[in-house]
Structure 1
Amino acid sequence: MDAIEPSRRQVTFNGPLEAGIRAVALLGAAYPKAFDLQRLTALDYLLVRTKTIEGGPESLHPPTPLRSPDAEVRRRIVHQGLVLMMSRDLVEQEAREAGLMYVAGENAAAFLDALRSPYLLKVKDRAHWLIGHFSGYTDAEFNAIIRRYFEDWIIEFQEFERSIGVA
């Protein structure tokens, strides 16, 4: 009998399923408010790194020496997660004047109530904290904060490249 090779693919908390669950937690915490993909992508990043926000609770994920500045990679994963969650009525997509928006779906509340693992309880807690923290911010204020984080990510990425002799 042939031995089964272990998967060489690194298992992380950043696949479509995990991003989808975080999106449901964020949308559930914000209900009935809806967000576009750009906002959900930014919130997803901040949800696992709440300690980077002044006064934020401990981050869900440990700090990494390099956080990818490629927002498109994260955006694609969040979108795949939203599609997955929409297939289970956990998220609804709505066409609005501002564009495509996402809101917690019919089954979101029951789904979130069923999540009981320590990690998922922290996800829900951080989602409520994050939504509450940014509730008074206008879109322009929120976008300015995200631009600042993105600039920090770019600088960090460039410093890392210089340290390994790439740039």
Structure 2
Amino acid sequence: MGQMSARSLLNSPIEVGIRSVALLAALYPRSADISTLVLLDHVLLHTSDFGGAESIHPPVPGRGSQIGLKRGLIQDGLYLAGARGLVEQVVGTSGISYVAGDDAHPFLQSFDSEYLNDLQERCKWVARVFGDVSEEQLRGVLLEVVGQWREEFGDEA
């Protein structure tokens, strides 16, 4: 099997899985369901739009529509991470949620990458600012920001 290019890794289950592991590690011991992870992942990639540090991804038109594409990618990423013990499913009365597994922190610490270090710092910020916010409140914040994007870029956001 050949090496994956950087382009083929972007938004692949591997990249999204690593982002999910980093996000759940920052949220630990809290868990999050898939809907919340989709929303938090969007905040994670666009932190400057939400009052945080410079965004990991550039502020391109259409970024508001990315939310609809994330669910399947995050599910695939969580499946890969779960198969490696990095993420665990928690089944409760409100459904299935996810929590960082025992190997999540050692896994993340094994990397020496500026991108991953920046990502983890942003994950900590997302967890601190939005980790205890209800899904409904988080959706409200996202709708407000997407409205600002529409003003910035026209209806393409």
On whether the aligned pair clears a TM of 0.5, the verdict is yes
Q: Scaled by the length of structure 2, what TM-score is found?
A: 0.84
Match 2:95 to one of 94, 99, 106: 99
Letter in 1 for 2:123: A
Give the drift of 1:94. Answer: 1.3
Per the TM alignment, residue 154 of structure 1 is displaced from its structure 2 partner at its CA by 7.2
**Cα distance between partner residues in 1 of 2:9 and 2:17:** 14
- 1:81 counterpart = 2:77: yes
Deviations for 1:7-60, whole angstroms, at most 9, x for unmatched residues? Answer: 9xx535211111111111111011110000011011111111101012x10001
User: What is the rounded CA distance, in whole Å, between the counterparts of 1:117 and 1:87 in structure 2?
Assistant: 23
Deviates more, 1:90-99 or 1:61-70: 61-70
Contact 2:34 2:97 in 1 (8 A): yes
Over the matched positions of the two proteins, sequence identity in percent amounts to: 35
Please identify runs of 4+ aligned residues in structure 1 that moved more than 6 A: 153-158
Q: Identify, as 1 or 2, the structure richer in helix.
A: 2
Q: CA deviation at 1:149?
A: 3.9
Task: From the CA coordinates, give the structure whose radius of gyration is larger.
Answer: 1
Q: 2:114 aligns with which of 118, 127, 133?
A: 118
Equivalent residue, structure 2, for 1:143: 139
Aligned to 1:53: 50
Structure 1, residues 129-158: CA drift from partner, whole Å, max 9, x if none?
A: 111112453443223213334556678887
Please state how far the C-alpha of 1:124 moved relative to its aligned partner.
0.5
CA RMSD of aligned residues (A): 2.7
Determine if the alignment matches structure 1 residue 27 to structure 2 residue 29: no
Question: Matches of residues 127-166 of structure 1 in structure 2 within 5 Å?
Answer: 127-150=123-146, 159-160=155-156
Amino acid paired to 1:106: D
Could you tell me which runs of 5 or more consecutive residues in structure 2 were left unpaired when the two chains were aligned: none
Aligned to 1:165: none
| Higher alpha-carbon deviation: 64-73 or 90-99 | 64-73
Contact 1:68/1:157 (<8 A) preserved: no
TM-score, length of structure 1 as denominator length? 0.80
